[in-house]
Structure 1
């Protein structure tokens, strides 16, 4: 049976952060999960975590009204301070484990070992490399006022690129960002980490 022939009640709907949409679809293809569908909340909520829980509540209500019975939240806590868990509990759905995507890409166990040492590090992912100008340079006005770099990034020590794929162009963006921000540089190839593990349970 193709996904088009399945009813919504027979599918699994992942409601995810727009920052991981490409990665969810890549994992879906890798796992051959034809029954999995994806919808996303705006990636910009990464900077407005207060918007995530109410938007997720509304998205789940909408999905249920459309007949979806199997829903998975493609977010970790992501700065909601537990409010997303309240929404998940209300609707009886699960979410990605961990505090944020930087943790689940590395794997919770691996992140726990490096979290303290990474406190002064600026994480980048494949998405953030693709959107570096749109998410950092222009919103912070650094294209117009590069002198503000020290104000925004002066307390960081290095850029850590958490790479989901081996893409030289994306890695170059991360390296260039480190130079621009006056920071050290480290690359960690993570692949999809716990994202693949957790999506793999949605059979």
Structure 2
């Protein structure tokens, strides 16, 4: 994935009651919005590059390294990833390190809620999902990496088995809604939208009491 993710952990000694969320860069806006909205001033955020989703086999080691560095300053750490295509390898790392992650296989599931996502996937298996982040960066995260900007004829090879694009919207943003609609048109898919809010991400962060 192609959008850069800044480091957002304050330097220097950290009080023992603070919590660090080590998250995918694709969740940075959402984590910061939740912490602001709920006054979770005891939560700090460190983002790993969203580009790791193009190489999910690299996610477990990247997360392990981040945990080892953070343990110098934080006793409480939450991992802001699903399984994210690691085939259980991330869970193995987290079991070794004694650290929890967000529930679900990916961000679609914890934004929509596990039961809702499973129902949507069962109702229409040929669904391509977008979040706010993916709608915002569709060109750089989907079109260009797949070569569809220069070879649009590859569309059927990648998306021939899909029937719809479902935009799981974290916010009510007309610009993002328009981007998601145009993404569906570009892929030749029917368009649907479900307002999810922040889902289990908000629930889990809210449970990290100071």
TM-score (norm 2): 0.90
Query: Alpha carbons of 1:118 and 1:58: their partners in 2 closer, same or farther (altered >3 Å)?
Result: farther
User: Is the counterpart of residue 61 in structure 1 residue 68 in structure 2?
Assistant: yes
Moved over 6 A (4+): 3-6
Query: Alpha carbons of 1:8 and 1:80: their partners in 2 closer, same or farther (altered >3 Å)?
Result: farther
User: Is the counterpart of residue 11 in structure 1 residue 18 in structure 2?
Assistant: yes
- 1:27 aligns to what? 34
- 2:84 aligns to what? 78
Query: Alpha carbons of 1:28 and 1:6: their partners in 2 closer, same or farther (altered >3 Å)?
Result: farther
CA deviations on 1:164-201 (whole Å, 9 max, x unpaired) are 00011111111111111111010000000110001111
Query: Alpha carbons of 1:45 and 1:118: their partners in 2 closer, same or farther (altered >3 Å)?
Result: farther
CA deviations on 1:86-129 (whole Å, 9 max, x unpaired) are 11111111110111110000011222322222421000010001
Taking the TM superposition and a 5 Å limit, the aligned residue runs for 1:78-117 are 78-117=84-123
Which shifted more, 26-35 or 107-116? 107-116
Structure 2: gaps (5+ residues)? 1-9
User: How far 1:34 moved relative to its partner?
Assistant: 0.4
Structure whose residues are more often helix by fraction: 1
CA deviations on 1:12-50 (whole Å, 9 max, x unpaired) are 000001111100111111111001000011101122211
Contact 1:121–1:158 (Cα < 8 Å) also in 2: yes
Structure 1: gaps (5+ residues)? none
Contact 2:83–2:91 (Cα < 8 Å) also in 1: yes
Separation in 2, partners of 1:118, 1:90: 37
